[in-house]
Amino acid sequence: MSKAVSQPALWAKGVSKRYAGVQALDGVSVEFFPGEVVAIIGENGAGKSTLMKILSGVVQPDEGKLFLDGEEVNFPGPRDAMAKGISLIHQELNLAENLSIADNLYLGREIRWAGPLGLIDHAATRKGAAGLLSTVGLRLDPGTLVGQLSPGQKQLVEIARSLSLTARFLIMDEPTSSLTQKETDQLEAVVRELKSNGVCVIYITHRLAEVRRMADRVVGLRDGKNAGSLDQNQISHDSLIKLMVGREIKPPSHSEQVVTSSKAVLRLEDLRYAQSPLPGISLEVKSGEILGMAGLMGAGRTELSECVFGLRKRVGGKVILNGSELPANDVRSSIKQGMALVPEDRRGHGLLLETGVGYNLSLPNLDWLNWFGVVRPGSERRMVGEQIKNMGVKTTNASKPVGMLSGGNQQKVVLGKWLARQPKLLILDEPTRGVDVGAREEIYRIMRALAANGIGILMISSDMEEVLSVSDRILVMHEGALSGELHRNQFSEEAVMSLATGKPAEEKTADHIGYGRG
């Protein structure tokens, strides 16, 4: 490791930043050395993204200084930081989808023919692009439209673009949150390669397994302040969690004994949607049971849940809730009969981000909060107040726009809006994605309490730890079909992974091939 270098190459000293009255960063100091991979961890709202924006010149600190190679620097804009070799890859990628890879790589600094017309030299552009792509291990035609790439491939294109700017510091904000395992592997290989070339890679992530594999050093932030740091030999699951939340959190232990009745809340018989393989899906969720649904991304779990709920067209089979058959493609009757779906895309499908917490909570409950169609304000306020309290939503008031809450609190609002209906079956699709560790525990606690009250829970999750620790029973899907069922005594990462990949168990452990964790 390059820690031997006495002087940090990049040094943020006591930087602070306020946004509209909120202290996002408060006197944070961090140093970065060439040739190391630094993971920045912290709960949502800890100030990670703000720090990265300051380092890359996207925003300017209110207080504090930046030093590059020992000299104080000022970055009025991202271009100034880029000129000094600091590149930020945003969480939301900044690529023009309708342009080719090559055009994107050279956007804004096109290779031109000599002459007054400034015509673009396409041959040289393609050639240069091919070279850049090979450095990140992408074997694609540079002429491919970016819109046709997978999220992981786009990420690698972004990295290639940064590399072409001869970046010394590469900042990545949650680079793997939307990648498949293969893409994550590829990204990690590229990061290692960069590191050996002396590039400093700064990395924000929520996936602790990745931190353990990749990071030379971990810097923790909490409430906008330095929370400490860990050297490579100190990195462990527990130490990382302690660094993030400031207290020890026991890995979610399973409730002592499972009281699962034999009564099925939900029964699917040969359920099929368009493009689902034959035969359809048949399964049961029992009263008081948390049924985990594991599988790789794209295994068809979300599609199945949407079809059960009535959002996705059902082409065959039956959905039986509490003994009565539900009509196809009818969300409202599913809801009326006691079904609730907490969708995977919380911000896009679960919430009205610009509207208040209360407004979101009451939306699916207005059918019982009205008097001949007129909303009853008193009942609404009561219901909203109760759900904010029951769910432990941290908000200053019920009219605060829900988009301003943290991921965990947003998820509690989505849960609360459905739990107010006292559903009999709750479908949770990736219930803790983007949710910080503290709120995650609370969500698990709520789930267990619901199950104890006899509610059936179908939990779709790509988080191995979550699947193994929260579920009473696990079903695994592979390419649209159920590939197996595991009872508690059969639970193991290997068993889930082998069913998820549709293959018999192999030596590779789940952790090793990058199944999301933490």
Partner 1 sequence: MSSLASRLNFAQYQRVLGVIGLLLVLVGLLAYSHPNSLQNENLNNLARRIGERGIITIGVGLVILTGGIDLSIGSVVCLSGVSFGLFLEAGWSPMVASVVVLVGSSLIGFSQGLLITKLRLQPFIVTLCGLFLWRGLAKFLTQVRFDKVGQWIGGSLPEGEAIFRDACRDVGVGGRQDLSGFFQLETGHFLGLPMPAWILLAVALMSWILVHATTHGRYMLAIGFNEKSAKYSGINTDAYKILAYTLCAALSGLFGLLFLMDVGTASPNTAGNFYELYAITGAVLGGCSLRGGEGTVIGMVLGTAVLPLLQNLVNFAGVPSDLEFSVIGLALLGGTLFDELLRRLNGSSRSG
The contact set with partner 1 (CB under 8 A) reads: 20, 311, 331-332, 334-335, 341, 343, 348-356, 358-359, 362-364, 366-367, 369-370, 373-375, 377, 380-381, 384, 397-399, 403, 417
CB of residue 370 to partner 1, shortest distance in Å: 5
Q: Which two tokens stand for residue 151?
A: 């999220």
Q: Give me 114's structure tokens.
A: 């000599």
Record the tokens describing residue 448, joined without a space. Answer: 């267990």
DSSP for 351-398 reads --TTSBHHHHHHGGGTTTSEETTEE-HHHHHHHHHHHHHHHT---SST
Residue pair 138/153 in contact (Cβ under 8 Å)? The answer is yes
State the minimum distance, in angstroms, from the CB of residue 331 to partner 1: 5
Distance from C-alpha of 304 to C-alpha of 310, rounded to nearest angstrom: 10
Q: Following DSSP, what letter does each residue of 52-112 receive, concatenated?
A: HHHHTTSS--SEEEEEETTEEE--SSHHHHHHTTEEEE-SS----TTSBHHHHHTTTS--B
CA torsion 41-45-50-52 (nearest 10°) is 20
Among residues 40 and 369, whose Cβ is nearest to partner 1? 369
Place of tokens 């961890």: 41
Residue 281 Cβ vs partner 1, minimum distance, rounded to whole Å: 21
Q: How many CB atoms lie within 10 A of CB 79?
A: 10
User: CA-to-CA distance for 171 and 164, rounded, in angstroms?
Assistant: 15
Which is closer to partner 1, CB of 124 or CB of 331? 331
CA 100 vs CA 138, 147, 179, 183, 263: distances in Å: 14, 8, 21, 20, 55
Residue (105 or 384) nearer to partner 1, CB: 384
- Residue closer to partner 1 by CB (options 353, 513) is 353
Q: Minimum distance from CB of 207 to partner 1 (Å)?
A: 25
Kindly state the smallest distance separating residue 499's Cβ from partner 1, in Å.
29
* Tokens read off for 279: 């035969």
Measured from the CB of residue 45, what is the shortest distance to partner 1 in angstroms?
Answer: 16
Closer residue to partner 1 in complex, CB, 117/374: 374
* CB closer to partner 1, 97 vs 238: 97
Q: How far is the CB of 403 from partner 1 (least distance, A)?
A: 8
Tokens matching residue 455? 């509610």
CB of 340 to partner 1, least distance (A): 9
Write a three-state SS string for 280-310.
CEEEEEECCCEEEEEECCCCCHHHHHHHHHC
Distance in Å, CB of 341 to partner 1, minimum: 7
Q: Which residues pair with 32 in a beta bridge?
A: 10
Amino acid symbol at 358: G
Residue number with CB closer to partner 1 (229 or 333): 333
- 456: three-class secondary structure by DSSP: strand
Closer CB to partner 1, 12 or 326, in the complex: 326
Strands 374-375 and 37-41: unpaired
Please report how close the Cβ of residue 466 comes to partner 1 at its closest, in angstroms. 22
Question: Residues 6 or more apart from 76 whose CB is under 8 A from it?
Answer: 57, 60
- Smallest gap from residue 324 Cβ to partner 1 (A): 18
Least Å from the CB of residue 516 to partner 1? 24
Nearest distance, CB of residue 305 and partner 1, angstroms: 11
- Could you give the CA distance from residue 110 to residue 172 in angstroms, rounded to a whole number? 24
Whichever of 254 and 349 has its CB closer to partner 1, that residue is 349
Q: Give 122 or 381: the residue with its C-beta nearer to partner 1.
A: 381
Q: Which is nearer to partner 1, 37 or 457 (CB)?
A: 457
The tokens describing 308, both together, are: 């059960």
* 377 burial level (CB within 10 Å; 0-12, 13-18, 19+): exposed
Distance between CA 393 and CA 207 in Å, rounded?
A: 24
Is the CB of 251 or the CB of 385 nearer to partner 1?
Answer: 385
* Cβ distance to partner 1 smaller for residue 68 or 384: 384
